[in-house]
Amino acid sequence: MLIYFDIASIAMYLFTFLLVKKNKFYVYSLFCGNEFLVLMSLSTIYLGFASGFQLNIIGICVVAFFAAYFSKGKGIRNSLIWSVMSVAIYLFLHFYMSFHTPIYPMEAWFNISFYAFHAILVFAFIAIYLVVFVRYTRSLEERILSESRIDFLTKTHNRYDLYSYLDSITEKKEYSLAIFDIDDFKKINDVYGHICGDYILKELAFIASNTLGDSFVSRYGGEEFIIIAKENNNEFYERLEDLRKYIASHVFQFNDTKINITITIGVGIYEENMSIEAWIDNADSKLYQGKNSGKNKTVM
């Protein structure tokens, strides 16, 4: 009887192979899971509860939740139903075999060997699935955390990561902070469009990140960026001036249009026990001093 069932199982697996090729993973899992339940149930009835085949029914429940997790839109409800059904089948086999002898009874040593084999197999099966799942979820969490700290458009650090970084600095007096933005950026959006404006922001962020090397570059909001570096204000000022001059001479080419821009930079002076907000405000006030005195300059 089991031989005939195995032949039918092989035919079914060949059919489900087509489901995998068509990315029907949930249907594939459903077919395989139900076939496995039937096979384990028949094996238990034919060879006895002591053979341990029924233990595999417990292990296969893990697959049900795996299938739900990786199958979009299916949810967890079907997996719970399938697991409850598996438990019901397990209990049915337990009670049924309590009152019936196996169709093909085996010797005690054979049953013990089979039971130990299936117990180890199920434990290994569950352990492997859980290890894979934990590793996958950890990598997913790390990816989400990383993406939550990066500005989507410019690929620089975002405002959340900026404050986290500043909070992590214990000796702030050893660091310098500056804020800069694009002069007359609204005109660029009005004349060339917002897609061009986004291009300018991305290019500017790329240039700033590469020019300033190991500095922390963050998009603060709109066309404003904040730069943090572990160096004194005078050295920092010189490097910012190099960046400002480079930007002023650089030609941004959007499609067939050549665009020149300038930036104004304000350097914040850190004072003892100054809050992060006050430090940024200090740099921001220097930025507006530069804006109000002709733009395209670095003010410290």
Report CA dihedral (21, 24, 29, 32) to the nearest 10 degrees.
-50
Residue 157, SS3 per DSSP: strand
> Is the alpha carbon torsion for 185, 177, 270, 300 positive or negative?
negative
Q: Write down the catalytic residue from 141, 171, 174, 223.
A: 223
CA distance 105 to 47: 6
CA distance 252 to 203: 8
DSSP of 12-35, one letter per residue?
HHHHHHHHHHTT-HHHHHHHHHHH
CB 218 within 8 A of CB 159: yes
CA distance 261 to 206: 15
Asked about 147 being catalytic, the answer comes back as: no
CA distance 16 to 97: 32
CB 33 within 8 A of CB 60: yes
The residue among 36, 20, 30, 122 whose CA lies nearest residue 67 is: 30
Tokens, residue 160: 């959340």
CB 114 within 8 A of CB 47: yes
Instruction: Give me the active site residues, please.
Output: 223
